[in-house]
């Protein structure tokens, strides 16, 4: 049986916060990482529908784990387009709770890389609130425009 592709890799995501790149306690081996990976980086991102997702990526080279993040980058990207073929991303959480998204990444990093300081919850909350408010404002402006131009139902 062949493994199914991870649906998060195909989503357009806005990365709210990235952890620092950390060295793994034990090399990670998988189908995608034939030679194993020694580095890990976690992230919390926002999906187009406003839900959150958290993930970790594994690779051997720090450059492979360099990704754009908020506030410098506010456009959605696909992880599949940004991560090289010899890196692996694993989804940890998908849903509407930013605390769970942060907690899942921090727990995985604490387990695999023995690090306490990973992703700061207050910065994820601030980014999520800012982008959520921006989306609501865009929806409101769109509804106003439709109303003024007679497109309202």
Residues pairing with 18 in the sheet: 43
**Ranges of H-type helices in 89-120:** 98-113
In a domain, 153, yes or no: no
pLDDT, tens digit, for every residue of 44-90? 998 888 889 999 999 999 999 999 888 887 788 888 888 888 889 99
Q: What is the mean pLDDT of residues 40-44?
A: 95
9 pLDDT band, cuts 50/70/90, is low
User: Does 45 fall in a domain?
Assistant: yes
Cα(98)–Cα(104) distance, integer angstroms: 10
Q: Is residue 93 part of a domain?
A: yes
- Band (pLDDT 50/70/90 cuts) for residue 1 is very low
Q: How many domains does the chain have?
A: 1
Pairing of strands 37-46, 12-18: antiparallel
What's the domain range around 130?
7-148
21 with 69: CB under 8 angstroms? no
Residue 1 forms part of a structural domain: no
- pLDDT of res. 64: 92
| Residue 61 located in a structural domain | yes
Whether the CB-CB separation of 125 and 40 falls below 8 Å is answered with no
Q: Is residue 49 one of the residues assigned to a domain? A: yes
| Nearest-angstrom CA–CA distance, 13 and 10 | 9
Q: Is the pLDDT of residue 7 over 50?
A: yes
pLDDT confidence of 8, banded at 50, 70, 90? low
* Structure tokens given for 111: 């387990």
Query: Is residue 40 within 8 Å of 28, Cβ to Cβ?
Result: yes
The answer to whether residue 135 is domain-embedded is: yes
Q: Is residue 75 within 8 Å of residue 14, measured between CB atoms? A: yes
pLDDT bracket for residue 129 (50, 70, 90): confident
**Contacts of residue 124, Cβ cutoff 8 Å, sequence gap at least 6:** 16, 17, 44, 98, 101, 102
In a domain, residue 85? The reply is yes
Given this model, what pLDDT does residue 10 score?
A: 63
d(CA 17, CA 130): 13
Kindly report the average pLDDT of the chain as a whole number: 85
11 pLDDT exceeds 70?
Answer: yes
């Amino acid at each position: 049986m062949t493994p199914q592709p991870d649906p998060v890799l195909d989503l357009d995501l806005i990365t709210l916060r990235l952890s620092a790149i950390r060295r793994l306690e034990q090399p990670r081996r998988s189908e995608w990482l034939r030679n194993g990976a020694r580095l890990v980086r976690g992230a919390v991102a926002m999906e187009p529908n406003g839900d959150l997702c958290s993930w970790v990526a594994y690779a051997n080279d720090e450059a492979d784990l360099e990704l754009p993040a908020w506030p410098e980058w506010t456009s959605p990207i696909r992880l599949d387009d940004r991560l090289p073929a010899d890196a692996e991303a694993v989804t940890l959480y998908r849903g509407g709770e930013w605390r769970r998204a942060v907690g899942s990444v921090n727990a995985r990093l604490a387990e695999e890389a023995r690090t306490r300081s990973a992703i700061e919850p207050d910065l994820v909350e601030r980014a999520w609130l800012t982008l959520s408010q921006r989306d609501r404002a865009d929806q409101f402006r769109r509804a106003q425009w439709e109303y003024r131009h007679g497109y309202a139902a």
